[in-house]
Structure 1
């Protein structure tokens, strides 16, 4: 008899959960787009750099097509010159896809944000900001090709400084899954 009550209670609970699942939308909203992140350190540079500098990078590609980024960093050893997204797998240097910030010019539109010495820079980019790299198959303006490289995990964020002009800290950009249940995200 107790066994039947237990099974009845479990079946009732399972039915209630199944019927209420559609109303969970407010509790677990669907993803608003794609999220990519990177942790930056000198050890990711080619060749590695022993630096106290660290950073983080976040890029969102909204379903509307809007692309926004946030680059935060601190403890770099000298004046920050520029930061970019480059086209290259781990352990390999690649060409510049897009400027994130610059203190020495050189960006395609001249409206790139200035790089703080330490802190956070936020911005957005579109096809007009994509500069290449031509010799790696991405030509200026090819936003779809740039996004394909980002989605494939073969891009990295890189911060260039006066002491390390080729880059002081870098991090490979990887997708962060935005599943319906936050604690199951990778």
Structure 2
């Protein structure tokens, strides 16, 4: 009986130690921690669509633990007057959520999102919008999607 108790105790201790060491090991972080995002930016996605030949790309990574979005927006074929990320589903207009501090391509930055913004971002309800003097309501748009 005593021998069975010692074996049971040793087994529990071994399992406990293994669980703790795995939890503390940073290499066990799940891939759900970071989400890769992208968008192709064109005039045809603008609401209403237009015939602009300007194009661009958005690439981003959202990290859940820090609630931060790291992004890069590159574009060509226009001189921007405003650029930002809006809340809004594809085909709809929405409010500005994240203004960009620079208008020079590539626009790069890191921003901490609210819980609501993170939810919108991860459910394909945000888009990049770049305005110009030719198209003051927005020349090109890219609906942000998870990769």
Q: Same fold (TM over 0.5)?
A: yes
Paired residues for 1:1-186 under 5 Å: 31=31, 33-65=34-66, 66-76=68-78, 79-99=79-99, 101=100, 112=101, 114-116=102-104, 119-127=105-113, 143-176=114-147
Distance 2:64 2:87 in 1: 23
Task: Quote the offset at 1:62 in angstroms.
Answer: 2.4
Unmatched runs of 5 consecutive residues or more in structure 2? 1-28
Give the Å deviation of 1:58.
1.2
Secondary structure of the structure 2 residue equivalent to 1:149 = helix
The structure that has the greater radius of gyration is 2
1:30: Cα distance to partner? Answer: 6.2
CA offset digits 1:53-81 (Å, max 9, x no partner): 000001211254132110000012xx311
| Aligned residue number for residue 26 of structure 1 | none
Q: How far, CA to CA, are the matches of 1:71 and 1:35 in structure 2? A: 14
How many residues are matched? 117
Supply the distance in 1 between the matched residues of 2:80 and 2:76 (Cα, whole angstroms).
Answer: 10
CA distance in 1, matches of 2:95, 2:64: 27
Output the aligned Cα RMSD: 1.7
